[in-house]
């Protein structure tokens, strides 16, 4: 007897920054639901290769890696076309790639500003521009990974917070611009992963204490939210879903 089709069978998903952390959890979750996954990476070639190999070991030809510098407008324009050449279609775009570091008001440089705005806002704009014709054709979906600090400022991270807030408004604007063919939603993670550079243990405890659930989440929590938009929410567009254990309800940043 043939196994029943998975919810995302024959769909193709492009995830930026997919080689590690939340991006890798997103890739595995979509793959487990039957999708073919385009794993975008910039520098994490080895991690991307391992992830692609693991997915292809389960279903041959169901994953491929795509290297691109999202700061390069030509690379942004070419990325969706490369995915379509490889898999024959593109149904879901997940703008997950992000840059995060402090920019206190007295020390912001033009290079930092351009980097943070470029990765967190400009890249999603131009990637959507390049992918929009195919997504319209497939009645597809865009998911933008924002941050709860798009809604509540994080001390000393002025430019990052502003870029993520703009990404939330971009989500709503795109939902109007690309509807009815394409749905566009966003996810705002809270304390599901600490920054790669580490966070002081005392600060971690304080952040967790300010969540309603009094615990951290996981990258898989974000992935489940993305799957909700992809498989269970055909009448939802222009929305922001916080995945933060109730951190948005707590005290100051």
Task: Report domain extents, the chain.
Answer: 12-249
Residue pair 246/211 in contact (Cβ under 8 Å)? The answer is yes
Query: Which residues carry out catalysis?
Result: 160
In sequence order, which residues have a C-beta less than 8 Å from that of residue 83 and are 6 or more positions away? 12, 14, 38, 66, 90
For the domain spanning 12-249, the CATH number is 3.40.50.720
Through-space distance between the first and last CA atoms of the chain, rounded to whole angstroms: 55
Supply the pLDDT for residue 1: 47
Phi, psi torsion values for 139, nearest 5 degrees: 50, 55
pTM for this entry? 0.95
Token representation of residue 130? 């390049």
Residue pair 64/55 in contact (Cβ under 8 Å)? The answer is no
Phi, psi torsion values for 13, nearest 5 degrees: -120, 130
92 forms bridges with which residues in the sheet? 13, 141
pLDDT mean values, one per 10 residues, the chain (253 residues): 75 98 98 98 96 98 98 97 98 97 95 97 98 98 97 94 98 98 97 77 84 93 98 98 90 48
Could you give the CA distance from residue 232 to residue 35 in angstroms, rounded to a whole number?
Answer: 15
Could you give the CA distance from residue 140 to residue 118 in angstroms, rounded to a whole number?
Answer: 24
Supply the pLDDT for residue 4: 64
Distances in Å between the Cα of 241 and the Cα atoms of 171, 185, 244 are 12, 8, 9
Could you give the CA distance from residue 167 to residue 152 in angstroms, rounded to a whole number?
Answer: 14
Supply the pLDDT for residue 208: 87
Supply the pLDDT for residue 78: 98
Nearest to 221 by CA among 196, 237, 245: 245
Report DSSP state, residue 6: P
């Amino acid at each position: 007897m043939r196994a029943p089709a998975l919810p995302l069978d024959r769909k193709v998903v492009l995830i930026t920054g997919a080689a590690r952390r939340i991006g890798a959890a997103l890739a595995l979750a979509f793959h487990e639901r039957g999708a073919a996954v385009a794993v975008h990476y910039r520098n994490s070639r080895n991690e991307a290769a391992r992830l692609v190999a693991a997915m292809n070991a389960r279903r041959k030809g169901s994953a491929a890696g795509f290297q691109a510098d999202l700061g390069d407008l030509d690379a942004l324009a070419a990325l969706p076309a490369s995915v379509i050449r490889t898999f024959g279609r593109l149904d879901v775009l997940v703008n997950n790639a992000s840059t995060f570091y402090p920019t206190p008001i007295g020390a912001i440089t033009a290079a930092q500003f351009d980097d943070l705005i470029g990765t967190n806002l400009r890249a999603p704009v131009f990637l959507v521009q390049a992918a929009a014709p195919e997504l319209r054709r497939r009645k597809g979906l865009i998911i933008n990974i924002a941050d709860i600090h798009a809604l509540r400022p994080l001390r000393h991270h002025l430019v990052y917070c502003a870029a993520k807030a703009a990404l939330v408004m971009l989500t709503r604007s795109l939902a109007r611009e690309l509807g009815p063919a394409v749905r566009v939603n966003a996810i705002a993670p809270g304390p599901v992963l600490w920054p790669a550079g580490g966070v002081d243990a005392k600060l971690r405890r304080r952040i967790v204490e300010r969540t309603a659930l009094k615990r951290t989440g996981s990258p898989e929590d974000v992935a489940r939210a993305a799957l909700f938009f992809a498989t269970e929410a055909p009448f939802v567009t222009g929305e922001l879903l916080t995945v933060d254990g109730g951190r948005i309800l707590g005290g100051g940043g």
